[in-house]
Amino acid sequence: MAVSRRMMLAGSMGAGAAVLARSASAAVAQPGQVERWGVLELAFDGPRTGNPFDDVALSVRFSSDGRTIRVPGFYDGDGVYRVRFSPPETGRWQWTSESSAATMSGKSGSFECTAPSAGNHGPVRVAAGYHFAYADGTPFRQIGTTCYSWALQSEAKCAQTLATLKTAPFNKMRMLVFPNVESVATNPFVRTGPGPRDWDPARIDPAYFRRFEDRIRKLGDLGIEADVILFHPYDEKRGYSDMARADDERYLRYIIARFGAYRNLWWSMANEYDDVKSKTMADWDHLLQMLQAEDPHDRLRSIHQITTYYDNRKPWITHSSIQNGAAVLDDVRAQLHRSFGLKPVVFDEVCYEGNSKLRWGNLTGEQMVERFWWGLMGGTYVGHSETIDPERNADHSWLGQGGRLAGTSPPRLAFLRRIMEEGPAPGIEPIQTWWNYSIAGKEFEYYLHYFGSEQPTQWPVVLPGRKGQPMNAYRLDIIDTWNMTISPVDGLFRMQRHGDYDFHDPARPTVTLPGKPWLAVRLVKV
Amino acid sequence: MAVSRRMMLAGSMGAGAAVLARSASAAVAQPGQVERWGVLELAFDGPRTGNPFDDVALSVRFSSDGRTIRVPGFYDGDGVYRVRFSPPETGRWQWTSESSAATMSGKSGSFECTAPSAGNHGPVRVAAGYHFAYADGTPFRQIGTTCYSWALQSEAKCAQTLATLKTAPFNKMRMLVFPNVESVATNPFVRTGPGPRDWDPARIDPAYFRRFEDRIRKLGDLGIEADVILFHPYDEKRGYSDMARADDERYLRYIIARFGAYRNLWWSMANEYDDVKSKTMADWDHLLQMLQAEDPHDRLRSIHQITTYYDNRKPWITHSSIQNGAAVLDDVRAQLHRSFGLKPVVFDEVCYEGNSKLRWGNLTGEQMVERFWWGLMGGTYVGHSETIDPERNADHSWLGQGGRLAGTSPPRLAFLRRIMEEGPAPGIEPIQTWWNYSIAGKEFEYYLHYFGSEQPTQWPVVLPGRKGQPMNAYRLDIIDTWNMTISPVDGLFRMQRHGDYDFHDPARPTVTLPGKPWLAVRLVKV
């Protein structure tokens, strides 16, 4: 078959899009440069016959400064194969292709990786054990949401969701590859007949994934991480999550090659993995290990449970993704999840703000926000969603399809995000949870105490501290987390020793509080 | 060297002691029978020269009904080697010895394993995932205590401790092999000079371990499990926990062979393992794997932390042994440890009742008892100790040396044990912790709700239950966990559906309570 050289396209990650330049001398057209953490895309014409997903291997080795990264390619239909690479370092990169198709093998070229443009902080990584930061060191303060099948809705609905997100506080979106509610795009695989199970797992439909990745990119343009969920148990009708091992592997390899270069991509292996009846723990371990081994971009990896916590100490997991509505009603409960996994914890599902008749979908806005605050106090992160739906079944709500937000929690989550961003980097640490102070922050510099639904009229300003540790003086703010006010208290708290374990200011041992729910106090060292 | 055959001794596990009978025809004396889960002991004279701990291998294969168990021997000094075996099944057992010393090799014999005598329930095993039961199926409701170095005190002090235990509620004792406080027995290894580090790890002193196992047996006689802690970080002066790998292995093999046959033995690899500076996580994994591989009796195995939770999902761990004083102040916090480890949870250290100036040793009796109740409500188990000490440093208290109990919690723990024994077997399960019912028991049969320090005057009698589930009728008791009273409430609660998720009795939706702290209610199906 004929092999032509195609113009290579850089990914459109907003300001991260590469400047394209056709090289006059090379046999293969290539962009002259791409920015660090942007997407370099090479496209080849290749075999159209047989099954391109099984019969054709393609990869490209990218090398710079003694480092080589092998990046797998994928078939994009119409005889076009692509390789996407997000260079982790600036400088000159050389590349060479390898393929089972002779016409795509042995091609080579080079490009310049330039400094990232403004707003490009790189991919999010684990930071300081229990937190997240972009590759350039900027803290990533996770305020997540979930719209399971938003990316599979109509163009108009997708646009509406994106418009909503543009003014919302969320910086991570959990989203399914396979539909779970009524959707426009429902066929990731080529259909073979009229029945729901009439599809061929060996024939991926590139159009489905092209459409999906457009949504990933658009989230990236808004500065939102795409937490892409590869399997889920809500689709017994079509059975996309019930494929055989080899089919799962083909799908996983495709997803890795196709989506992995987008710097805002996170992998979630499954939603409620333990409710997928066709897979065992060994299957999940295998798929996660494969993901770790074969993703050259080493994106964040997690798996979400309904009942049985996955063992998040397993080395292929980067952070704990937890479903638990009760664990984030108490800072110590939340913090314990750090002690178990020894990794960052995101409570990705804690029930939802909404009017569902189902108890997991009828939190008040206050209850939704409360969960974020307790999670914060435990040194963890929390996810929102909304189940406000005229049919009260959650399918057509923000949780199911995206669209508009109708709840009262998002402005308060924006306020919380501001509090987080004003706080210590990379995040808030729980402090001496054993001793029931219920404070968090950074010792001897910054403290938060959250009162939840209590309506306190005063609080004893006692901080843990022992002989020889810095006592310091602090200013104190009273934060109304619901009404979104920050009220500074006049003067300072000048700490002195108070018993063997504590500091306080003997001249003002307590602070007066307004006796309302959803208060917090913040102490900042002066 | 001369090899003689010695009279074999059965262990003195109270009623479990074997009946000894000299076989007239055999070359090796042997007991004609031993009861199931008792201790059969074979003794051989062997080499006295060289280092018997390193130079001489001895094991015996015990076979019955197609099953063979290889049991290692140990050197007991004075040229005597012993092999101890606790037969897991009744019937005829054959045995054959193997040894690097030709004179101890190839010996054989047989014995009859008879039914266990009254009070011998066998070793404790994991039951129903999160609980414990003796091998005969009797539930083991753990009410533990800790006297770290009690077994290393004078005969008089040991006798006092045992006398105290005889009337105390405790059925598990945590105890160190190596001393942590002032002790009479301090030399597990042969001394080589006057300094604290002048000892030879290759020369175990059998007398030390003979003395120690006498205490294990005496606990067994009282029906108390001996949770023997092999290493700890409190001995930098002598450094017994800082040996080299080969020395640790020699010690571990010795302990396995010498103590493992006692059916009341549990292994705790370390106290505060993560504070033993000379050992890494890889060291602990290795020692635990070795323990699992080499202990023919497969006793329970755990490891206790100070800060970093061990990964209790590792397959060589049988149950989570947790230190956490805050986790047992809330049922959900406690329950989460089950979700983490997927094994039974024993909170072996939750601070202590006492008057110590250190905050981990100054709980009131009420606070000590409260922790047991919250642990119970979370489907877990808790451990007691006491730090009432004239010097207020805990060394000479029950925690350090044993002796007498002076606290107020033990009678209340006896009362709690009675409540547990009256409850469902093998233990109390937390029920729908996600939805904040704070109830535990066995669904549709038995429920407990605990109020802690609240002083409730009424409680809405609402139980989780959905359409189609058994509604039943219940009698209700008001339990004063501190004053140790059980007050039945007249009449029954006849449950009806109450919304989509709950049951209650519309005729009496609440129960009146006496407005005191430390209350619980118990509902039992009629």
User: What pLDDT digit, counting tens, does each position of B138-168 carry?
Assistant: 999 999 999 999 999 999 999 999 999 999 9
A324–B434 C-beta distance less than 8 A: yes
Residues facing A473 on adjacent strands: A494
Who's near B483: CB < 8 A, 6+ residues apart? Answer: none
Is A435 part of any domain? no
Which of B310, B311, B466, B467 best probes binding to A when mutated, by most A CB atoms within 10 angstroms? B311
Q: Has residue A10 got a pLDDT over 70?
A: no
Between A235 and B383, residue with greater pLDDT: B383
Q: Tokens standing for B520?
A: 């619980």
For residue A434, the chain B residues in CB contact (below 8 A) are 324-326
Token pair 């939340």: residue: A334
Residues across chain A = 526
CB B10 within 8 A of CB B41: yes
pLDDT at residue number B393: 73
CA distance A385 to A352: 5
Is B329 within 8 Å of A357 when comparing Cβ atoms?
Answer: no
What residues of A are in contact with residue B434 (Cβ under 8 Å)?
A: 324-326
Chain B residues with beta carbon closer than 8 angstroms to that of A308: 339, 342
CB-CB contact of A342 with A367 (8 Å): no
Q: Which tens digits make up the pLDDT trace of A250-295? A: 999 999 999 999 999 999 999 999 999 999 999 999 999 999 999 9
Which among A75, A68, A142, A44 is positioned nearest to A372, based on CA atoms?
A142
Write down the residue that tokens 């189902």 correspond to: A358
Cα A13 to Cα A37, A65, A153, B230: the distances in Å are 9, 25, 22, 57
Domain total for chain B?
3
| Residue among A313, A327, A435 minimizing CB distance to B311 | A313
pLDDT class of B30 with cuts at 50, 70, 90: low
CA distance B332 to B430: 8
B84 with B40, same domain: the answer is yes
Q: What is the pLDDT of residue B235?
A: 86
**Which among B332, B340, B357 is the nearest to A340, CB-wise?**
B340
**A413 and A471 fall within a common domain:** no
Structure confidence at residue A30 (pLDDT): 61
Question: Coil, strand, or helix at residue B291?
Answer: helix
Among candidates B313, B326, B332 on the partner chain, residue whose Cβ is nearest the Cβ of A434? B326
pLDDT in tens, B162-221: 999 999 999 999 999 999 999 999 999 999 999 999 999 999 999 999 999 999 999 999
Note the Cα B33 to chain centre separation in Å.
28
Co-location of A75 and A147 in the same domain = no
Contacts B349 to A, Cβ<8 Å? none
CATH of the domain at B28: 2.60.40.10
Burial of B230 (0-12, 13-18, 19+ CB in 10 A): buried
Of B114, B147, B174, which residue is a domain's last? Answer: B114
Which residues in B have their CB inside 8 Å of a CB on A? 308-309, 311, 313, 324-327, 329-330, 332-333, 336-337, 339-340, 342, 357, 359, 433-436, 500-501
Sort out which chain A residues have CB atoms less than 8 A from B356's CB and list them. none
Q: Give the per-residue pLDDT at A341.
A: 98
pLDDT of residue A6: 33
On the question of pLDDT at B350 being above 80, the answer is yes
What are the Cα distances from residue A96, in Å, to A42, A105, A108, A255, A259? Answer: 11, 8, 4, 22, 21
Residue of B nearest to A307 (CA): B339
Q: Residue B334: list chain A partners with CB under 8 A.
A: none
Q: pLDDT tens digit string along A116-135? A: 999 999 999 999 999 999 99
Whether the per-residue pLDDT at B23 is higher than 80: the answer is no
Q: Nearest-CA distance from A501 to chain B in Å?
A: 9
Hey, are the CB atoms on A332 and B336 less than 8 Å from each other? no
**Closest to A258 in 3D by CA, of A301, A200, A209:** A209
- Indicate the SS3 state at residue B450: strand
Q: Closest-CA residue in chain B for A330?
A: B333
Phi first, then psi, for residue A226 (nearest 5°) are -100, 105
Residue B346 in domain: yes
- pLDDT for B248 equals 98
CB-based contact A337 B336, cutoff 8 Å: yes
B311 and A308 in contact by Cβ < 8 A?
no
* The overall pTM is greater than 0.90: yes
Compare all CA atoms of chain A with the CA of B339 and give the residue at the minimum distance: A309
A362 and A485 in one domain?
A: no
Rounded distance, CA A272 to CA B412, Å? 42
Q: Can you give the residue range of the structural domain that contains B107?
A: 14-114
Closest CA to B238 of B177, B288, B283, B284: B177
Same domain, A496 and A399: no
Among B79, B114, B149, residue at a domain's last position: B114
Instruction: Verify that B244 and B333 share a domain, yes or no.
Output: yes
Residue B187 domain flag: yes
Q: Give the start-end residues of each E strand in B343-409.
A: 345-349, 353-354, 381-384, 386-387
What's the pLDDT band for B106 if we cut at 50, 70, 90? very high
d(CA B465, CA B499): 9
pLDDT digits (tens, 9 = 90+) for B281-299: 999 999 999 999 999 999 9
Distance from CA of B432 to the nearest CA of A (A): 10
Are A320 and A243 within one domain?
yes
My answer on whether A79 and A195 are in the same domain is no
> Could you tell me the pLDDT band of residue B90, with boundaries at 50, 70 and 90?
very high
Same domain, A463 and A360: no
Q: Which of B325, B332, B336 sits opposite A434 (nearest CB)?
A: B325
Of B324, B329, B434, the CB nearest to A326: B434
Contacts of B500 in chain A (CB under 8 A): 357, 359
B526: which strand partners? none
> How high is the pLDDT of residue A2?
33
Q: Is residue B260 part of a domain?
A: yes
Q: Do the Cβ atoms of B259 and B13 come closer than 8 Å?
A: no
| A165 and A257 inside one domain | yes
Distance CA A48, CA A76 (A): 11
Question: Prior bond to A88 cis, omega within 30?
Answer: no
Instruction: Please check whether residues B466 and B390 belong to one and the same domain.
Output: no
Residues in chain B: 526
For residue A503, give the CATH number of its domain. 2.60.40.3950
Q: Looking at the predicted structure, is the pLDDT value of residue A390 above 90?
A: no
Question: Inter-chain contact A435–B501, Cβ cutoff 8 Å?
Answer: no
**Whole-angstrom distance, CA of residue B477 vs CA of residue A290:** 55
Extract the tokens encoding B421.
Answer: 């024994």
- Cα B321 from Cα B273, distance rounded (Å): 11
**Nearest residue of chain A to residue B330 (CA atoms):** A333
Q: A72 and A59 in contact (C-beta within 8 Å)?
A: yes
